[in-house]
Structure 1
Amino acid sequence: MPHIIETQPDRTDLPLVVMPTVFDAMIEPFRTNLPMLHDIARVRMYTDRTSDEETLLARTADADAVMVIGFHIPDAMLNRFCGFDGGTGHVRCFAFGGTGVASYINMTKTRERDVRVCNIVHYGDHAVAEHTFALILELAREVGRLDAEVKAGDWTGAEGYALHGKTLGLVGFGGIGQTVARIANGFGMHVAAWNSHVDPTVANALGVELIDDMGDLMERSDIVSLHLPLLESTAGIVTATQLNRMRPGTLFVNTARAEIIEPGALTARLLRGDIRAALDVYEREPLPMDDPLRTVPGIILTPHVAWRNDEAYVSLTKQVVQSVASFFTGGDFNVAN
């Protein structure tokens, strides 16, 4: 049986907030922040990991709000959570522990059902930026492969790819993109960014060149890195036409969301075999064993972990709890829909 952490269990006059699953490393940061809900809501937190829909639904059967940590909510599951289509739940608020919530829950349907969805902001700018550069460096210097070869007795080595002097093209220039730019400056790289609602003052301060056309940016860059949030306006915004303008030898990194790319376009581009890529996000997660991305030569794949580090967890957990407290006290903190 999973361990359950509860607060104010006798206060049945208060609404119930359920966290049906959680990452181990988040348990203590959440426990630290739960006092913010004192006299506002009861909390029931399950401390194990599960993605089984029936288990998640059973654990939240009497919940008024759900903290969503690391699981997707398909439409049928959403209806059962909220008492539609024969469902018995009565959830009226989902507090999502991340950004890009549109890839986890149908925002149109939550609006139609008057169900609040909250996400969090700027909690992992440094975490994602650092992972972005971990992927860039792995593509450039192949440390993981070389480590395995040396341990196997192979001293052949490999030729490195210099970052100094190369052009890094950023598609997306919010908190994460700006942090990536600062790191790139330390490597002596030239940084350019797609000019979509970018504050030129910020770009100038970081020495970043703004380019109006995304395709031009991709064609001129040695390394392309995506940092757009997933919104209704950004879904599929990176098209096959733009990806096809990347020159042979370009390095491509995505730590944002797969859904900002036209469906199937990235796989088709990578299977041409003339660019190398490192990905942390996918159209289907977990990545199926038969996904053609697994067959791309030299590709680096990580399991959607760019956002996960100790610093990010502190901000993430606080914002999730604040979102729930705001919902029950009539506020609008971090409302996503």
Structure 2
Amino acid sequence: MTRILHTQQERTDLPLTVMPCVVDDMIEPFMQHFDMLRDVTRLRMYTDTTLDPQEIIRRCEGADAVIVIGVHITDELYEALTSHVKLFVFGGTGVASYIDLPRAERDGVGVCNVRHYGDAAVAEFAVALMMELSRHVGELNTQVRNGDWHGLFGTELNNKTLGILGFGGIGQTVARIAHGFGMNVRVWNSHVHADSLDGIELVDSMADLVAGSDIVSVHLPLTDETRGIITDDVLSKLRSGTMFINTARAEVIAHGALERRLMRGDILAGLDVFEEEPLPADSPLRTMPGVILTPHVAWRADGAYASMTEQIMRALVSFFEGGDYNRVV
């Protein structure tokens, strides 16, 4: 049953903020920051995960601001909501894949995101995918529970070469963890200068980085410049046995390119993000051997939640007080 949580419900003189849906384990972290909104905005928070567009429109009726958790603001939603909504606050960093930012800018609709909230969480998850592909802990657990003591051969990460595509907060955190494993780290990112890297090889060509790596981990933001930047040609450089990890955005890979490369059957992959989410039942990825699939959960961890929820509340307060905290548009 859906609960509706209210703050300052009686303060009809205050602007209204609506959270039309939320992940269940985020409710308590949000509640811990409710006091930040005192005398600034009312909040109406729905405690389920509905993604039905018409229901979201109904729930957001009269809202001045909307907190967006996992919802794509389609053209239909945008047109319905922006008749009254002045601000969207997203519980994530890469908002370009969730809302038409140029349109929002033209229309004067504010958009905020959260920043660096999940650097540790996503980096650790990327490494967890590497560990699962190399040491098969989940599969071994299933074996033992099924009475099988056969075991599986593993691959060490020590002395392997990790190629990182994108070197923002998450990529840098992955590099630090990788150094702890004794891995050799190479980075491709046109915005990073060699003198800012400690013990890391900077590679000018993405194709060269991919060709020379035992593991490739993607940590690029989704922008107009990065959309489709990982092409069929780049992926063709992956050597047999290479692990390909993506906890960033699926759209930074050219449409269909990863599936085409995986169909050759000679590389492994750990994927937490997909062009269409939830992953369709008929997706060829579901039946490919050597591919680990997770439901876009790399960011879902206690520390990330604490930072995300606080930043969302700060963005709301800032907006209603005339500031621009975490404003993207």
Q: How is 1:29-108 mapped onto 2 (pairs within 5 angstroms)? A: 29-83=29-83, 90-108=84-102
In structure 2, what residue type is equivalent to 1:81? Answer: L
| 1:244 match | 236
Distance 1:48 1:295 in 2: 31
- Contact kept, 8 Å, 1:102 with 1:230, in 2: the verdict is yes
Matches of 2:37 and 2:305 in 1, distance apart? 18
Q: Distance in 1 between matches of 2:31 and 2:285?
A: 39
Aligned Cα RMSD in Å?
1.1
The C-alpha deviation readout for 1:185-220, integer Å capped at 9, x for no partner, is: 11100000003111433312xx11100000000000
Give the Cα–Cα distance (whole angstroms) in 1 for the partners of residues 327 and 35 of structure 2.
21
3-state DSSP of counterpart to 1:162: coil
3-state DSSP class of the match of 1:127?
helix
SS of the equivalent of 1:49 reads coil
Task: Find out whether 1:212 has 2:204 as its counterpart.
Answer: yes
Distance 1:172 1:181 in 2: 11
Q: Aligned to 1:192, which of 183, 186, 195?
A: 186
Instruction: Give the one of 283, 286, 302 matched to 2:278.
Output: 286
- Measure how far apart 1:49 and its partner are: 1.8
Report how many aligned residue pairs link the two structures: 329
Name stretches of at least 5 consecutive residues in structure 2 with no aligned partner. none
Report SS of the residue matched to 2:216: strand
1 CA distance for matches of 2:71 and 2:189? Answer: 33
CA distance in 2, matches of 1:299, 1:119: 31
Which consecutive segments of 4 or more residues in structure 1 shift more than 4 A? none
User: By how many angstroms is 1:296 displaced?
Assistant: 1.4
Distance 1:211 1:221 in 2: 11
Tell me, in whole angstroms, the C-alpha distance in 1 between the residues paired with 2:189 and 2:278.
32
- Whether the 8 Å contact between 1:195 and 1:213 is mirrored in structure 2 is no
Gaps spanning 5+ residues in structure 1: where?
84-89
Q: TM-score, normalised by structure 2?
A: 0.98
1:269 aligns with 2:267: no
Q: Residues 93-127 of structure 1, C-alpha deviation per residue, up to 9 Å, x if partnerless?
A: 00000111111111122112211111010001000
Q: CA deviation at 1:282?
A: 0.1
**Aligned equivalents of 1:307, 1:30: Cα separation in 2:** 16
* Partner residue, 2:221: 229
State TM-score, norm by structure 1.
Answer: 0.95
| Alignment of 1:115 onto 2:109 | yes
Partner of 2:136: 142
Q: Residue 146 of structure 1: CA displacement?
A: 1.5
Describe the shift of the 1:195–1:73 C-alpha distance in structure 2 as closer, same or farther (beyond 3 A): closer
Secondary structure in 2 matching 1:293: helix
TM-aligned CA deviation for residue 295 of structure 1: 2.0
Q: Shift of the alpha carbon at 1:145?
A: 1.2
Aligned to 1:25: 25
What is the letter of the counterpart of residue 311 of structure 2? Q
Percent identity (aligned): 57
